[in-house]
Every structure is written in C-alpha cells, then in structure tokens.
C-alpha cells in the first residue's frame, strides 16, 4: 500500500511556509520597533517557520489530514458496499496516521494513509502475504511498538496498533489491548485465506 503522496507532502510544506510567513507578518505588525534595523519578516520568519513546522507535522498534521482520510474511507467503502467491518484507526503522535478497515463478510481490506488521504486502496485477503501481528521487543519483556503487518504486491505495510515513547511491559493493560487489536486484524485476514470466511 502506498503510504505517502509526495504531491500532498509538497502541498503541506508550501502551506506551512505560507502560514509561517503570515504569522511572521502578523508578529511584525503587533511588535513593531523602529529601533530594529531589519524588516519584521526577516526578524520573525526564522522563528515562526521552524516552530509552526514542528507544531504542524508533530501535532496538527494527523488531525487535519485525518479528517480528509476519514471522508475518503467512508465514501469509498459505501461505494464498494462494505458490510460488517472491523476498523482500526492509528493517529498516534510520531507515526503516519492510517485507517484500516476489513470487511468481515468478504475479506476485503481497505487502507487510507493520512499522508496520502485522497487515495483509497483496497485488496482481497487472498492477495496479501506475510500477514502477522507482532511487536518490537525491548529489554525485560517490554515494548514500545505493536503492529499488524502484511505484504501486498511484494510491498510491506505495517500498521501500528499501539505506540509509546517509553517501553512498557507487554502484559500491561494497554499493551495487551494493542496486541489484541493486531491479532484481530491478522486473524480476520488469515481466516479468509484458509477457509474463505471467519470461523468461530
């Protein structure tokens, strides 16, 4: 699955520069000082640009692009007549947000990335390989990253079901919840690959 759209990333970069420029102009207007021998833009843009870029890409990005991705997913799943489905949304800070939906009646998997939010991607269960759930192991049976993974047309896609900045014990409540989500996604796909449907 294609996680990134470089055109969309470029649009975001241009938007960040434009907003930073407007912020710099606004600060220059509010904090005018005739004793400063440089323009307000020269003074404030080196401050506003990195600060707003950090704020956007590590905070606002998932919020804004997530709304687009959600609409893309909803409209296309309705068009594709998705039935009873299991949906997982990842919007953790420090990760690329994703929406993953699996139709439990047909085994179809739908995927929309927050950094490619206009692109609805879909595959059948029998088109996926290397379908696993796992986590990155830390010291003393800990983890900071739990995920569901598959390959489509030879390309690996990994969707986190839980991430954290610090290692946590894998038997903790939040880790077990993340593992359960990853296992559920894996089991639905494997169930269709083995039997053509989910068996209880």
Contact 98, 87 (CB under 8 A): no
130-147 burial string, b = 16+ CB within 10 Å, else e?
A: ebebbbeeeeeebbbbbb
Answer for the pair 160, 147: CB distance below 8 angstroms, yes or no: yes
d(CA 98, CA 113): 4
Say how far apart CA 78 and CA 62 lie, in whole Å. Answer: 23
Per-residue pLDDT reduced to its tens digit, 101-111: 999 999 999 99
pLDDT for 12 equals 85
Contact 119, 5 (CB under 8 A): yes
Computed over every residue of the chain, the mean pLDDT equals 85
pLDDT: which is higher, 31 or 141: 141
Taking the whole predicted model, whether its pTM rises above 0.85 is answered as: no
* pLDDT at 56 (0 to 100): 66
Which backbone phi and psi does 13 adopt, to 5 degrees? -65, -45
Q: To which H or E segment does residue 27 belong?
A: helix 6-30
For the chain, the domains span 1-200
* The pLDDT of residue 55: 66
């Amino acid at each position: 699955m294609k996680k990134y759209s470089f055109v969309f990333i470029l649009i975001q970069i241009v938007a960040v520069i434009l907003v930073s420029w407007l912020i710099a102009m606004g600060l220059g207007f509010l904090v005018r000082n005739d004793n400063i021998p440089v323009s307000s833009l020269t003074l404030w843009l080196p401050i506003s640009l990195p600060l707003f870029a950090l704020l956007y890409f590590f905070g606002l990005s998932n919020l804004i692009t997530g709304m687009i991705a959600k609409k893309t997913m909803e409209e296309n799943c309705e068009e594709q007549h998705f039935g009873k489905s299991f949906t997982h949304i990842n919007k953790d800070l420090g990760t690329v947000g994703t929406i993953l939906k699996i139709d439990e009646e047909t085994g179809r998997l739908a995927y929309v990335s927050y950094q490619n939010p206009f692109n609805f991607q879909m595959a059948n269960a029998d088109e996926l390989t290397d379908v696993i759930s796992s986590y990155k192991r830390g010291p003393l049976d800990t983890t900071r990253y739990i995920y569901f993974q598959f390959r489509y047309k030879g390309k690996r896609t990994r969707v986190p079901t839980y991430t954290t900045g610090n290692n946590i014990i894998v038997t903790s409540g939040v880790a077990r919840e993340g593992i359960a989500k990853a296992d559920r996604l894996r089991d639905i796909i494997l169930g269709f690959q083995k039997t053509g449907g989910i068996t209880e």
